Structure 1
Amino acid sequence: MGLTTDEVHQRVAAGLKNEPLPPLTRSVKQIFRDNLLTLFNLINVVLAGLVLLTGSYKNILFLFVVIMNTAIGIFQEIRAKRQVDKLSLLSAAKIHICRDGQVDDYAQDAVVQDDLIMVTRGDQLPVDGVVRTTEGLEVDESQITGEADPVIKGPGDAMISGSVIIGGHGVVQATEVGHGSFIKQMAKAAKQKHRTPSQLLTIINRIIKILTITIIPLGAGLFISTLLRGESQNRAILGTVAAMVGMIPEGLVLLTSVALAAGAFTLGRHQVLVRELPAIEALARVDTLCLDKTGTITSGQLKFDRLEPWGQVPAQVAETRLAELVTAIDDDNETAQAIKEAFGTPTVQAEAVLPFSSARKWSGAQFNGQSYVMGAPEFIYETVPVDLQTHIQTLAKQGYRVLLFAHVKALTTPKPSEPQAVGLILITDELRPRAKETFGFFANQDVALKVISGDNPVTVASIAKRAGIAGADQLIDMSQVGTTPDFDQLVADYNVFGRVTPQQKESLIKAYQAAGHTVAMTGDGVNDLLALKQADCSIAMATGSEATKSLADFVLIDSNFDAMVQVLNEGRRVINNIERVAALYLIKTMYSAALTLIFIFMSHSYPFEPIQLTPISTLMVGIPTFFLALAPDYTRITGRFMKQVMEIAVPSAICVVGYILTIMLLGSKFQLNFATTSTLSVLMTGIISLNALLIAARPLNRFKIGLVVLIASLFLLVFLFGGYVFSLVSLWNWSLAWIYLPLVISAYPVFVLLQNGLGKRVLSKIRWR
């Protein structure tokens, strides 16, 4: 019967109501707070305040760039949040609750104390409760206890929130909801695993940490040394602010976060729910993809083909007993549904039931004084008879999924006693329409495909071969490897693994990781939970179990595995583009830090004012990186982030520092004032940055060439028409042209010499993580 509507209202009013799961995304308030309240934003605001003291108001223009970067970051993250939240609603688990005598679907936060919850295989219990009725209820409490062995539950037994139903079905009465439930403390651990943070963000945050330690003392040192040289306070402030602004890579962390958020938004449009942004990066680095057969290679729509009698039982009698067995067990998995569709559901009174379990791999029931089972032959017999095994192998090679239907003396575990074959159940499973194209794409992208399934290895290999998966002939039956197999050797020798238990799936993933591979795992059932948790990246189908969807990194909303092509491409695009543009941010940071250190001990003022860095920050870094970060680039991830960045950044920074020191020497020789030397410094820094942009944009295409030409034209316009705004002197001076033209002409060959020669020799001796 369950609670009445009035009783539900009373419990809601008393606060005895469950709570929703923690959201996958940050709130809008948190997004604003985390983007605005950063250390670098604080430093920029303080620096802007110091510039205001000088009265040179145009020199706070750098703050406008910071504000625009932050605004773009907030906009992109909120846009991605809305997309993820929308998809989260589509994939949210529904709870089956009996109220007023009717069973309906409810959201998790609709559960109240004393509700009667209908649970079945694949469900995850959202509250603490007690079992009221059960049909072979088996529970995985490993997320709470750490033990993966299934626990059989009977009437009156306690159930802990976060438990996963792996066999049978039953009714559980909610006893503790909301704050009182165990899952309140364990929600994140039970519902969502915590992976290693983004490698990109880890490296970038390491750079930020180093800068945080150095930027303030360097700025203080430059300010004091400028005053000690007799320069005015205003000159000391403007020089120090320019140096510190130059050292801050204000858009680098932002661009990485925005790129990942934009990736999540793009994938959302392809019906892919991204549960963790770093997972986009993790999948981009994957080189081994482990596939579960059902729902990934095949459509998951099983069809009963026929029952082949075995032994002395007539075919019609065997079919009747099979129909009665399936009705008595009352499982709701795909195999049971296919048989029910073929034979219907005759009336039968079950005396004992043992529903299907992923670990046991068979199910059974006792009725009319007789016990019958169906499932994997290897898990029913101690040793499958030779003639029966031979026939099963023949059928499996034809692509059938073969299950044994047998009469047994008793429903003992882990194997029934004295099985006698009654017949062989033949199930067909069709390939997904575009399976060959999808797997061919992954193979071309150097992603090794492995098939790990609970089905007969011969059947699995046959289907894998039809799908065009390489190495399908290298198969093994995991039910025959013993209790302590050498998993490292197994993953080295085989590509198709059949009759795999959930624990073996997890061990196979561990073995691939131990061999240095980055592993992704696909799955849709509770038998995949352990492997999905262990994998570097996990993918679940929306049609799979709620427990599986709740911990996967990606949920394919329309259960279309072909969407993984877009996921892999999007991940590679994000990572490759961030690697490409990070160098442009770090060039400014590196030469600013080097110049600050040098000019602490020089008699000259720091060569820039804050306003003069704005064209460089905007035109040479901000605008082009925005476009380059969105460019298509689906090449394999190399794992050379720091080395690739430094191959561009180090030679560029050395060039900038070298040319600025040269300009300082020429300024002393030709008695050039600060306005002139700072203008020449901006010019040469822009020219070097433009060369670095050309390198970072490779391989060039018409769009990228057009972008570089546009940036160069805008930079030229700054000198032609923006001299007053950016404190630049006119370059239309022939006496000055004799100085800067040779410098401009020499910039490209000097840059190339450093980039291809000295830079690579130095970098080859350094090990970058």
Structure 2
Amino acid sequence: MSDTDTIKGLTQEQVDKLTADGLFNETVKSQSKSVCQIVAGNVFTYFNLIFAIFACLLILVRSYINMTFLPIIVINTLIGIIQELRTKRVLDRLTLLNAPKTKVIRDGKESEVDSQTLVKGDLCRFKSGNQICADAVVVDGIVRVNESLVTGESDEITKKKGDMLLSGSFVVSGECLAVLENVGLSSYASKITLEAKASRKKQQTEMMRSLDKLVKVIGIAIIPIGILMFCRTFFALGNTLQQSVVSMIAALVGMIPEGLYLLASIALVVSVMRLAKKNVLVHEMACVETLARVNILCVDKTGTITENKMSVAQVEPLEYYEQGEFPALHEMIGNLVNNLNADNITMETLQQYFDSEKTRQAESVCSFSSETKYSSATFSSGDTYIIGAPEKLLLNEYSVYESHIESYARKGLRVMVFGILDYNPEGKKLTSPAKPLALIAIGNAIREDAKETFKYFADQEVEIKVISGDNPVTVSSVAHDAGIINADKFIDASSLQTDEELEAAALKYTVFGRVQPEQKRRIIQALKDNGDVVAMTGDGVNDVLALKSADCSIAFGSGSEAACNAAQIVLVNSDFSCMPSVVLEGRRVVNNIQRTASLFLVKNIFSMLLALFTLIVGHRYPLYPTQLSLLGAFTIGAPGFLLAMQRNRSRIKGRFLVNVAIKALPAALTDFLLVAIFTVYNNFSGIPHEQLSTSVTFILLTVGMAELYRVCRPFDLFRAVVCVLMGAGIVGGILLFPGLFAISSMPLPLFVMTLIWMAGAIPVFYGMCKLIGKLFNRFL
């Protein structure tokens, strides 16, 4: 241990020197990417490399007009960079406000500082709810800690003077002073994190995982297809080098889903920024989609259903107190609670109510533990005052008082027993029951917005599970008053002895009382094993294990530091009523991307089929790259990005890639069939390639607009404006820039034929929609 003054701590001069020497508590990595990482991540992508190669090939063959895809790629890249930078700015500001803080003693004065500014040798004060920010040695006080996040062992461990506190563990109860030994990257937790980073795979949601698979498959497939197309066109058909390169690039450009992945990434980034502006801090971007898919939400009673405040409703003396010779009851309880640290909301409430000064100094105290569910103080006379959960203190005598206690519980009041022992329990389970002196009933007001919030989740078919350490009757009563469906289905988790009983109860009951932290985690796991997508809200140290186990974890900013660090989402203002908006944001993203992704996939599926077709029949590819740019800009890219930002409250159903592919099939197959037949027929007629490609472009634009019309239904003003603007953009592009988009003039017979095919494309498309709908209806 360093030569730290265990009373006054380090001096500011020592702190400055240690900071300059690099002995400060730096973190393994920041919450967000650096500016350089954002720019590099958007610029140096696989498909950007492919497009760069395409551009070089077109420059070599001097076909500059077919490089119109380049501005679109540049714009897409810039949009990605700008949106990520904007989000980084908002998130960094919110992260700074919510950064972990630690109480430190320097120059004899106690203050609260950012944990990252601590240095080796700092004298810190840790109490219940704090997460240990660096390896430290206890110099005064006693705490019980949970080291599950660093060692995997969930048992609570008592730490006394001279014991080591491992960084990453969290204080369950008690208070201590400790001197930091290993800070920053040399701490135990940092070493584990650095080792894990090398082997840890980034967690991805179904949507991003599906897009990754799609990108990889297409990214590999375009290489052999491109080589085959060039060889076929150049060597077999005898086209010029320029024609062969242009034909190959036209086929490959259409296959690349460059905008789809960008659309999904930007939509998620924008969602994170929107939530940040509502004081919702998102630690992992993937959880936005996960929360949108949640069908079970697990909540605690205090702080979620009820206000994070308590009040003593009644103190009722019991027969044992009235028959004995004891000091005043108010004084006795005051001597107990005022000898303890106010390390949880319950103790703060009791100290405020029993606010008399201490008349007795305890020799030893045991702070509240979620395992034993009591607090105690032992005095020099040998007697111990104890307060806690009735069944934990009364043991086999609980049945004597059960009906009376439950009469309070049915009113939604939490009941605690105050009693006396003739031995020191030392923080362990009681070996004999306490002598009960009084019942203390504590109440929590239900949040004003609780009913409305839970009604929203009921309407959205999200099941609520209430998991609490309180009496199940009390929790059930409170849940019923808050409007939670099936709140009368409750169980005492202490009665569940086996894993099988717990797993069965997790599926059957809505309210769980007297739950141990490890049981919370196992309930969450049982629901996940059943195929449910589970979210968990929590604010206490006893919620950490369950938060880490849930598919999506939400913590309250006013809760414990350990819970906030373990959660993926932090409600900075501790406002549970904003949860619907968080869910809606996720649904907006996923549903809109599913809706608009079909626009992107139409071009990819069609281009793949047409490329294979031209290889088989031996014809030249009927399109130019610049024509695909016109098609992509006004029937895919621009409307896709616009529609992805709209509100969408629909519940997410089915699998992402399956949904998108099935919705894209009608337009893709219509495009392929019409273009294949039209190309074969007109190639035998000897129509020049420039005129043929123009006719094909008009047919594809017609089907593209029909698909956009279908995607936009049901129409609102915004979607109607999008359709009109895209149609105007197509007409304007053709009339104003025919040369840029390789639109050539056609003889009247071919023009009339093209119009007939365009008109016929509409019924063919809708017929294909009905056919695909019947074949794949069960997947949608």
TM exceeding 0.5 = yes
Counterpart residue type for residue 53 of structure 1: L
Task: Kindly indicate whether residue 693 of structure 2 is the aligned counterpart of residue 678 of structure 1.
Answer: yes
* Equivalent position of 1:454 in the other structure: 469
From 313, 329, 334, the equivalent of 1:323 is 334
Task: Kindly indicate whether residue 177 of structure 2 is the aligned counterpart of residue 164 of structure 1.
Answer: no
From 406, 414, 425, the equivalent of 1:393 is 406
Counterpart residue type for residue 66 of structure 2: N
* Equivalent position of 2:5 in the other structure: none
Task: Kindly indicate whether residue 546 of structure 2 is the aligned counterpart of residue 512 of structure 1.
Answer: no
What is the rounded CA distance, in whole Å, between the counterparts of 2:633 and 2:728 in structure 1? 13
Counterpart residue type for residue 59 of structure 1: N
What is the rounded CA distance, in whole Å, between the counterparts of 1:415 and 1:574 in structure 2? 53
Asked if 2 retains the 8 angstrom alpha-carbon contact of 1:358 and 1:526, the reply is no
Asked if 2 retains the 8 angstrom alpha-carbon contact of 1:195 and 1:536, the reply is no
What is the rounded CA distance, in whole Å, between the counterparts of 1:180 and 1:678 in structure 2? 65
Instruction: Count residues in correspondence.
Output: 763
From 708, 711, 729, the equivalent of 1:714 is 729
* Equivalent position of 1:150 in the other structure: 156
Q: Deviations over 1:25-44 (max 9, x none)?
A: 11111111111111100000
Asked if 2 retains the 8 angstrom alpha-carbon contact of 1:647 and 1:755, the reply is no
Pairing 1:317-716 to 2, within 5 Å after superposition: 317-347=328-358, 348-369=360-381, 370-412=383-425, 413-415=428-430, 417-482=432-497, 484=499, 486-716=501-731
Counterpart residue type for residue 300 of structure 2: D
* Equivalent position of 2:287 in the other structure: 279
Asked if 2 retains the 8 angstrom alpha-carbon contact of 1:409 and 1:417, the reply is no
1:453 Cα offset (Å): 0.5
Q: Deviations over 1:350-383 (max 9, x none)?
A: 1111100112111111124220111111112222
1:641 Cα offset (Å): 2.0
1:343 Cα offset (Å): 2.0
- What secondary structure does 1:381 align onto? helix
Asked if 2 retains the 8 angstrom alpha-carbon contact of 1:242 and 1:609, the reply is yes
Pairing 1:68-83 to 2, within 5 Å after superposition: 68-83=75-90
* Equivalent position of 1:755 in the other structure: 769
* Equivalent position of 2:35 in the other structure: 28
What is the rounded CA distance, in whole Å, between the counterparts of 2:352 and 2:24 in structure 1? 39
1:600 Cα offset (Å): 2.2
Q: Deviations over 1:359-415 (max 9, x none)?
A: 211111112422011111111222243331111000111121111111012232112
What is the rounded CA distance, in whole Å, between the counterparts of 2:527 and 2:385 in structure 1? 39
* Equivalent position of 1:742 in the other structure: 756
1:484 Cα offset (Å): 4.8
Task: Kindly indicate whether residue 254 of structure 2 is the aligned counterpart of residue 243 of structure 1.
Answer: no
Q: Deviations over 1:548-581 (max 9, x none)?
A: 0001111001000011010000000000011111
Asked if 2 retains the 8 angstrom alpha-carbon contact of 1:331 and 1:356, the reply is no
- What secondary structure does 2:444 align onto? strand
Q: Which runs of 5+ in 1 are unaligned?
A: none
Q: Deviations over 1:298-347 (max 9, x none)?
A: 01111122311112425971211111100112233111111111221523
Query: Which range is displaced more, 238-247 or 11-20?
Result: 11-20
Asked if 2 retains the 8 angstrom alpha-carbon contact of 1:116 and 1:171, the reply is yes
1:95 Cα offset (Å): 0.7
1:190 Cα offset (Å): 10
What is the rounded CA distance, in whole Å, between the counterparts of 2:614 and 2:17 in structure 1? 74
Q: Which runs of 5+ in 2 are unaligned?
A: 1-7
1:278 Cα offset (Å): 0.5
1:764 Cα offset (Å): 6.0
1:485 Cα offset (Å): 5.4
TM-score where L is the length of structure 2:
0.95
What is the rounded CA distance, in whole Å, between the counterparts of 1:415 and 1:730 in structure 2? 94
Query: Which range is displaced more, 653-662 or 388-397?
Result: 653-662
Q: Deviations over 1:237-273 (max 9, x none)?
A: 1111111111111111111110000000111111100
What is the rounded CA distance, in whole Å, between the counterparts of 1:177 and 1:536 in structure 2? 31
- What secondary structure does 2:562 align onto? helix
1:726 Cα offset (Å): 1.0
Asked if 2 retains the 8 angstrom alpha-carbon contact of 1:719 and 1:730, the reply is no
* Equivalent position of 2:4 in the other structure: none
Asked if 1 retains the 8 angstrom alpha-carbon contact of 2:321 and 2:436, the reply is no
* Equivalent position of 2:124 in the other structure: 117
What is the rounded CA distance, in whole Å, between the counterparts of 2:391 and 2:193 in structure 1? 38
- What secondary structure does 1:286 align onto? coil
- What secondary structure does 2:621 align onto? coil
Asked if 2 retains the 8 angstrom alpha-carbon contact of 1:142 and 1:148, the reply is yes
Query: Which range is displaced more, 366-375 or 698-707?
Result: 698-707
Query: Which range is displaced more, 315-324 or 669-678?
Result: 315-324
* Equivalent position of 1:104 in the other structure: 111
What is the rounded CA distance, in whole Å, between the counterparts of 2:393 and 2:695 in structure 1? 84
Asked if 2 retains the 8 angstrom alpha-carbon contact of 1:302 and 1:430, the reply is yes
From 131, 138, 153, the equivalent of 2:138 is 131
Asked if 1 retains the 8 angstrom alpha-carbon contact of 2:390 and 2:398, the reply is no
From 306, 327, 348, the equivalent of 1:298 is 306
Q: Quick one: structure 1 residues 484 and 261, their matched pair in 2 at CA, closer, same or farther if it must change by over 3 Å?
A: closer
- What secondary structure does 1:607 align onto? coil
Asked if 1 retains the 8 angstrom alpha-carbon contact of 2:65 and 2:626, the reply is yes
1:657 Cα offset (Å): 1.5
Asked if 2 retains the 8 angstrom alpha-carbon contact of 1:183 and 1:190, the reply is no
Query: Which range is displaced more, 200-209 or 405-414?
Result: 405-414
- What secondary structure does 1:301 align onto? coil
Counterpart residue type for residue 163 of structure 2: D
Q: Deviations over 1:103-134 (max 9, x none)?
A: 10111121111111100001111111111111
Instruction: State the percentage of identical aligned residues.
Output: 37
1:666 Cα offset (Å): 3.5
Counterpart residue type for residue 353 of structure 2: A
What is the rounded CA distance, in whole Å, between the counterparts of 2:455 and 2:185 in structure 1? 49
What is the rounded CA distance, in whole Å, between the counterparts of 2:165 and 2:281 in structure 1? 30
What is the rounded CA distance, in whole Å, between the counterparts of 1:699 and 1:23 in structure 2? 43
Query: Which range is displaced more, 172-181 or 260-269?
Result: 172-181
* Equivalent position of 1:87 in the other structure: 94
What is the rounded CA distance, in whole Å, between the counterparts of 1:491 and 1:15 in structure 2? 49
What is the rounded CA distance, in whole Å, between the counterparts of 2:277 and 2:102 in structure 1? 27
Counterpart residue type for residue 757 of structure 2: L
From 272, 276, 301, the equivalent of 1:264 is 272
- What secondary structure does 1:382 align onto? helix
Q: Quick one: structure 1 residues 687 and 278, their matched pair in 2 at CA, closer, same or farther if it must change by over 3 Å?
A: same
Counterpart residue type for residue 676 of structure 2: L
What is the rounded CA distance, in whole Å, between the counterparts of 1:552 and 1:607 in structure 2? 53
Query: Which range is displaced more, 579-588 or 487-496?
Result: 487-496
For the aligned residue pairs, the C-alpha RMSD in angstroms reads 1.9
What is the rounded CA distance, in whole Å, between the counterparts of 1:439 and 1:53 in structure 2? 64
1:70 Cα offset (Å): 1.0
What is the rounded CA distance, in whole Å, between the counterparts of 1:441 and 1:194 in structure 2? 35
Q: Deviations over 1:391-450 (max 9, x none)?
A: 100011112111111101223211253410010111110011111001000100000011
Q: Deviations over 1:159-217 (max 9, x none)?
A: 111111111110111111123211222347999x9884111010011111111111011
Q: Quick one: structure 1 residues 705 and 58, their matched pair in 2 at CA, closer, same or farther if it must change by over 3 Å?
A: same
Q: Deviations over 1:59-83 (max 9, x none)?
A: 1110110111111111111111122
Counterpart residue type for residue 185 of structure 1: K
What is the rounded CA distance, in whole Å, between the counterparts of 2:399 and 2:250 in structure 1? 83
Q: Deviations over 1:478-536 (max 9, x none)?
A: 12233555122212321111111101111111111122111000000001011111110
